Structure 1
């Protein structure tokens, strides 16, 4: 299986592994583009646009109007950061928070770090706990999963989307009252089985807490993921 690069040419799968899949600083730009494309599909956002050595995604939400995402630190990231002074605009990079802080002007606020992770090996199987049911909806390349109680209360939900040979897990959430019952595990397992391409790369972004959970499911970190924005004015 090959990924498509920004000009529509095939990128051999082994190339992606050599250039960014096995280190913790920086990510292959073609892989990043595929990930952002799948994420935009899952969230019904504009497609990523190549800019300044990274990608711009117009999000248009109350919390965020636009984000620039970079595969690694570069002059383009610094140029974008210097000319932005309005809130609700985010800069993200597949590097550590410390590296991003050192590259940004003082008026930028660094957020909690995250981790880019990929599936590594078979996912252990688990049965859905008693008292819950699961519903799966497919809309083109996007899959949504909902786990509800027998009384109809939403307990867990998540999305998956596929683009250019990459399957992205997005907005995986379990309600606090329903945690420690394996619902997140079953949700991930269901999305995994819904992939259109069984050979696709499986990616997600995890918090520190989430990283611990996903590692128990056979996932591994492939890059740091730092984020910053301008808070208030």
Structure 2
């Protein structure tokens, strides 16, 4: 296993545990080749996650019985991953990129200033740091959260209302989440980015480790 593969597998494991904290899902259960998580939502009943691009594990999971709404994610290229899927499975969730911020990288430099006309609130409860951006009159503008696990924080569900995009709110929220996580003892971060988010996070020092591709049983 290469150093990059080792880093990716470790980051996936961190992401799994932080994601379950963020979403309030069941504790990850080790399975052959990876983990299984009870999510318990319509269309997302259970999630399997593999720390490596393991063709045999993908074929075993997707070739056996699985209820509709069962998900599988692995650090594999979409075209490769799709070729391993069994009948009834298809790619889902859009392009994802596993990224990591080494210790202190996410907090390098002065904190960005929020744009005029917005206010930022941050709080931490139950192992989840949250940020909320509202306009001066209280309307929703953006939000994000991070699950805390060990010495890491896992950024999750970052979104900005289309009417408030391109105003630097994403950068402000990412720094606020990193600061809130640091206050709880976290020193490094992991996330799965969209293509748009990846571009922002790379400018903030986050490093791309691998694609992270998802599939669902219909």
State whether TM-score is above 0.5.
yes
Where do residues 11-30 of structure 1 align in structure 2 (5 Å cutoff)? 19-21=5-7, 27-28=8-9, 30=10
- Structure 2: which 5+ residue stretches go unaligned? none
Deviation at 1:124, TM superposition (A): 6.0
User: What is the count of residue pairs matched by the alignment?
Assistant: 210
CA contact (8 A) 1:124 1:217 kept: no
Aligned twin of 2:196: 209
Tell me the residue number matched to 1:45.
Answer: 25
Aligned CA distance change for structure 1 residues 123 and 101 (closer, same or farther; 3 Å):
farther
Structure 1: distance between partners of 2:173 and 2:11: 24
Q: Does 1:84 align with 2:65?
A: yes
Tell me the TM-score normalised to structure 1 length.
0.83
* Equivalent position of 2:169 in the other structure: 183
Does 1:156 pair with 2:142? yes
Structure 1 moving runs of 4+ over 4 Å: 16-19
* RMSD value, Cα: 2.1
Pairing 1:55–2:35 present: yes
Whole-Å separation in 2 of the counterparts to 1:76 and 1:228? 14
CA contact (8 A) 1:123 1:189 kept: no
In structure 2, the residue matched to 1:12 is none
* 3-state SS of 2:59 partner: helix
Task: Report the counterpart of residue 32 of structure 1 in structure 2.
Answer: 12
Name the CA shift for 1:207/1:84 in 2 (closer, same or farther; >3 Å): farther
Which blocks of at least 5 consecutive residues in structure 1 are unaligned? 1-15, 22-26
